[in-house]
């Protein structure tokens, strides 16, 4: 039997407790042994929760308990979460996380620490929520040279853009709706400004090409400047405005990475990904295009990916898997030098340009790179 502790009992942490409890038989079958939740670490008192008897406030209780083999970190951010993760790995405990900021900013260090102590550090839920994505990229597509990746990796912004089109709401109204439904946080800046998508883009690049891409090096444009008239015009022309992450491995050996709203034509499967769903198209030189689609956020879907990592960690507790990347920086190119067609608004009228680099775009009120 393996005992487990959850750090943080918010949206994801509570979902993990639910999945591990309700699907205990499936988890045990996959792991090859029973996996039992022993502690939940949170500074709050939650007396009405069925998991209240497992609550503790001091992480040292988990750290010093030799029975705890796996720690699930769902605190978020890079403060306490980073400190507790370091301590858990140093104590010889496998760590599973959904924390994309922590992985994007400190992944090299934490993976090295896990290797040093002979344990696993897994983070499937950090990109794409419940969609099986990172493990297929690292394992099933490992015989490919990854040529490009493009997709919708933020369910909040995708929901907002969908609501703007379907309900005729401006961005601020659509945001309030997303918040009322639990899709957007009270502070939605990381979603609206594209920061959340950048972190996920970096993790994908790290895994695909084995070198580190720091979030601060990725050009980003969020959706705050997307107007309702832009979305309506795109729809009338048969396309859609979507916030996309883009990764292209150039023939020059450089990687081009950016996050920005794009005009997506109807011929692309990404055009039809609506509401809070996520999708990613990975192109390999052998496999061609493969698309991963599903629920990219939410308590139980994200917990599904976390629980899958728990199963994998227990299954490989005696022979840790060699997931990781080098701290050598990924050589980058400037996305603005890539020629593309653009969908631009000038004097209230829309048209498509011929392929142009960003510095050649004529003066306009709004412009979106076309996903060709």
Q: What is the pLDDT of residue 296?
A: 83
> How many CB atoms neighbour CB 298 within 10 A?
18
- Residues 140-295+339-370, CATH architecture: 2-Layer Sandwich (3.30)
| Beta strand 55-56 pairing with 35-41 | parallel
Q: What is the pLDDT of residue 327?
A: 95
Residues of the chain with pLDDT under 70: none
pLDDT in tens, 4-13: 999 999 999 9
Domain regions of the chain by residue span: 2-130+298-327, 140-295+339-370
Task: Classify 287 as helix, strand or coil.
Answer: coil
Identify the sign of the CA torsion 287, 293, 297, 300: negative
Closest CA to 129 of 323, 9, 293, 7: 293
> What is the dotted CATH code of the domain comprising 2-130+298-327?
3.40.50.720
According to DSSP H, which parts of the chain are helical?
Answer: 11-22, 24-31, 59-63, 80-90, 100-116, 134-135, 155-167, 171-180, 189-192, 195-209, 228-236, 299-315
pTM over 0.85: yes
Q: What is the pLDDT of residue 99?
A: 97
Q: What is the pLDDT of residue 286?
A: 98
Q: What is the pLDDT of residue 137?
A: 96
pLDDT in tens, 126-146: 999 999 999 999 999 999 999
- Residues carrying an active site annotation: 200
Taking only Cα atoms into account, the Rg of the chain, rounded to an integer number of angstroms, comes to 21
How far, CA to CA in Å, does 104 sit from each of 2, 44, 123, 155, 246? 28, 28, 10, 19, 16
Q: Do the beta carbons of residue 115 and residue 90 sit within 8 Å?
A: no
Identify the sign of the CA torsion 259, 265, 266, 268: negative
Closest CA to 324 of 127, 99, 107: 107
Q: What is the pLDDT of residue 44?
A: 92
pLDDT in tens, 183-200: 888 899 999 999 999 999
Q: What is the pLDDT of residue 246?
A: 98
Task: Please give the Cα distance from 114 to 38 (Å, whole number).
Answer: 22
How far, CA to CA in Å, does 189 sit from each of 81, 156, 222, 272? 20, 11, 9, 25
């Amino acid at each position: 039997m393996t005992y487990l502790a959850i750090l943080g009992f918010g949206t994801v942490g509570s979902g993990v407790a639910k999945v591990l409890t309700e699907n205990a038989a499936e988890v045990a079958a996959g792991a090859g042994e029973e996996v039992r939740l022993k502690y939940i670490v949170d500074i709050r008192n939650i007396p009405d929760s069925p998991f209240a008897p497992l609550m503790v406030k001091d992480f040292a209780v988990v750290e010093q308990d030799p029975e705890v083999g796996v720690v699930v970190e769902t605190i978020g951010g890079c403060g306490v979460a980073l400190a507790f993760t370091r301590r858990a790995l140093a104590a010889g405990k496998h760590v599973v996380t959904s924390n994309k900021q922590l992985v994007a900013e400190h992944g090299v260090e934490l993976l090295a620490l896990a290797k040093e102590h002979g344990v696993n550090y897994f983070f499937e839920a950090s990109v794409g929520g419940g969609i099986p994505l990172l493990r297929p990229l690292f394992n099933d597509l490992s015989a490919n040279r990854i040529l490009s990746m493009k997709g919708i990796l933020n369910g909040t912004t995708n929901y907002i853009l969908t609501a703007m089109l379907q309900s005729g709401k401006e961005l601020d109204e659509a945001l309030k709706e997303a918040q009322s439904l639990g899709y957007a946080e009270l502070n939605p800046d990381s979603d609206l400004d594209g920061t959340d998508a950048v972190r996920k883009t970096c993790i994908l690049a790290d895994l695909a090409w084995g070198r580190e891409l720091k979030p601060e090096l990725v050009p980003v444009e969020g959706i705050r400047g997307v107007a309702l008239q832009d979305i309506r015009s795109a729809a009338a022309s048969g396309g859609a405005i979507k916030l996309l992450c883009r990764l292209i491995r150039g023939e020059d050996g450089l990687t081009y990475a950016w996050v920005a709203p794009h005009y997506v034509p109807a011929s692309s499967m990404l055009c039809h990904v609506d509401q809070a769903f996520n999708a990613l198209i990975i192109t390999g030189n052998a496999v061609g295009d493969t698309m991963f689609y599903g629920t990219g956020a939410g308590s139980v879907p994200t917990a599904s990916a976390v629980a899958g990592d728990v199963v994998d960690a227990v299954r490989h507790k005696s022979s840790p898997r060699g997931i990781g990347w080098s701290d050598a920086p990924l050589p980058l190119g400037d996305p603005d030098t890539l020629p593309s067609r653009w969908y631009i608004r000038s004097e209230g009228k829309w048209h498509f340009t011929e392929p142009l680099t960003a510095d050649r775009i004529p003066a306009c009120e709004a412009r979106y790179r076309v996903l060709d």
